[in-house]
């Protein structure tokens, strides 16, 4: 299995730190509002990566944090006249609802920044003791130039850099020893949540959170650190500086980053009016469609979101789900139980599609090609499974399809839907009309049902229906 490592800028063979185990950390959202579809991409992508490792037999310890103390959270709390804790708890709950809708598995651990302050303070203390950090008037800064490898992930020259500006800079910039130094701890402002520390009553900088939470729940060294491309600098660069300076060893072996998401070929932003939350998308589409759309491109490629592409994803997903439904329908009416010799030969060919899927996923999690392999399997199922197929053959193909779609997090089992009694009666009346060769009445009923959003499909095994 090969992974593209942002650090080396090339694909590398995956070799875990511990045999058959994967330690993986993914930066989670800052919870001050509903998550947007930009947040959804790394959630879906790295959930799929996790699922594939599990498919391959690895035990995955998957940690993804919630940043629940941040300037944006505090601002929202002040606007609403409530506590920052109330805002973060509300939107963590909403985020988990959206994750469930996208079929993103809960992490092994979802640490909260506010519950790990003590560990962050100890980590900062270690950095001060080792000479990598210093305190000025209650603020603690990291000495960026002291870390010789600073810039190795983002491939930036230290002299060309300017320190990150994600709400970490505080008043008193002139107090820094160097403009590139970044904040590890900052004193509180009026009305802000704060914690006691040896330097001041205040709160941690953004970067120190992940260094501490990764160390606590995964250890000093991890296999994979992942997140959006926007986190490479300064966030992940600063994490490396903190963790490696404190622990004296390589922080992460592999760095994975997903590409940006654009809306109608433009960068998503509130000012452009093209900003969508996952919750807003869920009002128009099942979130399985959003997940399928996200996996339609390679995770490192930029991805363009548009109504047309979402409709295409919806249609593609429907093809897969319909194929699975058809296999179940045929199984209910199958006469033979066990496969005959020709079916055994036909079933053996499904291995080709599994191998195609695995080859794609082994090549840096190429979900676009993996999806193509699933479509090939669907086509094969549609052409080889029919009313004469045995239950064993039908179940075998369904199991293969289910196994592959589960890696992608795609649910192919429709929720059981019940039709209204009057619609059931019309379907039965139409069947009777067809038997009596009263095709005019049968067509009338078909048109009436279509007007009510029910599409009928006549097969040798009986009538199938679906909603329009």
- Other beta carbons less than 10 A from residue 466's beta carbon: 15
List the structure tokens of 220.
């000093």
Given a contact cutoff of 8 angstroms between Cβ atoms, the answer to whether 96 and 102 are in contact is: no
**CA distances for 78 relative to 60, 74, 197, 286, angstroms:** 39, 6, 24, 34
Q: What is the pLDDT along the chain (468 residues), one digit of tens a residue?
A: 999 999 999 999 999 999 999 999 999 999 999 999 999 999 999 999 999 999 999 999 999 999 999 999 999 999 999 999 999 999 999 999 999 999 999 999 999 999 999 999 999 999 999 999 999 999 999 999 999 999 999 999 887 765 444 433 444 556 899 999 999 999 999 989 999 999 999 999 999 999 999 999 999 999 999 999 999 999 999 999 999 999 999 999 999 999 999 998 888 777 777 789 999 999 999 999 999 999 999 999 999 999 999 999 999 999 999 999 999 999 998 999 999 999 999 999 999 999 999 999 999 999 999 999 999 999 999 999 999 999 999 999 999 999 999 999 999 987 655 567 788 788 888 888 888 888 888 888 888 888 888 888 877 667 777 776
CB atoms within 10 A of CB 318: 14
Record the pTM. 0.88
Is 202 within 8 Å of 194 (Cβ atoms)? Answer: yes
* Residue showing tokens 């072996």: 253
**Residue 328 Cα distances to 336, 390, 424, 461, angstroms:** 15, 12, 20, 12
Residue 448: partners with Cβ closer than 8 Å, 6 or more residues away:
426
């Amino acid at each position: 299995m090969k992974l593209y490592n942002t650090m080396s800028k090339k694909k590398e063979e995956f070799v875990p730190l511990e045999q058959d185990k994967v330690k993986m950390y993914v930066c989670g959202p800052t919870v001050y509002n509903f998550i947007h579809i930009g947040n959804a991409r790394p959630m879906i992508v790295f959930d799929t990566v996790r699922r594939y490792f599990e498919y391959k037999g690895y035990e995955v310890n998957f940690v993804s944090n919630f940043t629940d103390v941040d300037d944006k959270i505090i601002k929202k709390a002040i606007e609403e006249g409530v506590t920052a804790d109330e805002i973060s708890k509300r939107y963590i709950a909403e985020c988990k609802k959206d994750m469930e809708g996208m079929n993103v598995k809960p992490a092994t651990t979802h640490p909260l920044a506010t519950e790990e302050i003590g560990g962050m303070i100890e980590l900062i203390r270690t950095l001060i003791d080792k000479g990598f950090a210093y305190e000025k008037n209650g603020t603690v800064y990291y000495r960026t130039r002291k870390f010789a490898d600073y810039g190795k992930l983002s491939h930036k020259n230290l002299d060309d850099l300017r320190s990150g500006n994600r709400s970490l800079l505080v008043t008193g910039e002139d107090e820094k020893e160097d403009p590139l130094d970044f904040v590890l701890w900052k004193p509180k402002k009026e009305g802000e949540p704060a914690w006691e520390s040896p330097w001041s009553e205040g709160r941690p900088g953004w970067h120190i959170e992940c260094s501490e939470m990764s160390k606590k729940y995964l250890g000093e060294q991890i296999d994979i650190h992942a997140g959006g491309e926007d986190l490479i600098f300064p966030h992940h660069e600063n994490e490396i500086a903190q963790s490696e300076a404190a622990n004296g060893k390589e922080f992460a072996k592999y760095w994975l980053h997903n590409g940006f998401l654009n809306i109608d070929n433009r960068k998503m932003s509130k000012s452009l009016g093209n900003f969508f939350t996952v919750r807003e998308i869920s009002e128009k589409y099942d979130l399985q469609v959003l997940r399928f759309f996200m996996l339609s491109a390679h995770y490192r490629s930029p991805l363009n979101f548009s109504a047309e592409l979402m409709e295409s994803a919806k249609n593609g997903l429907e093809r897969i789900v319909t194929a699975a439904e058809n296999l179940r329908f045929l199984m209910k009416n199958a006469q033979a139980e066990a496969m005959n010799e020709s079916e055994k030969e036909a079933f053996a060919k499904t291995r080709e599609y599994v191998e195609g899927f695995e080859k794609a996923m082994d090549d840096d999690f190429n979900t676009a090609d993996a999806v193509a392999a699933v479509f090939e399997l669907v086509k094969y199922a549609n052409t080889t499974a029919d009313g004469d197929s045995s239950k064993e053959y039908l179940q075998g193909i369904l199991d293969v399809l289910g196994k592959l779609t589960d890696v992608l997090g795609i649910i192919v089992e429709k929720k059981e839907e019940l039709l209204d009694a009057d619609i059931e009666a019309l379907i039965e009346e139409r069947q009777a009309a067809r038997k009596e060769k009263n095709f005019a009445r049968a067509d009338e009923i078909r048109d009436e049902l279509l007007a009510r959003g029910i599409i009928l499909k006549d097969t040798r095994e009986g009538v199938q229906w679906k909603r329009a």
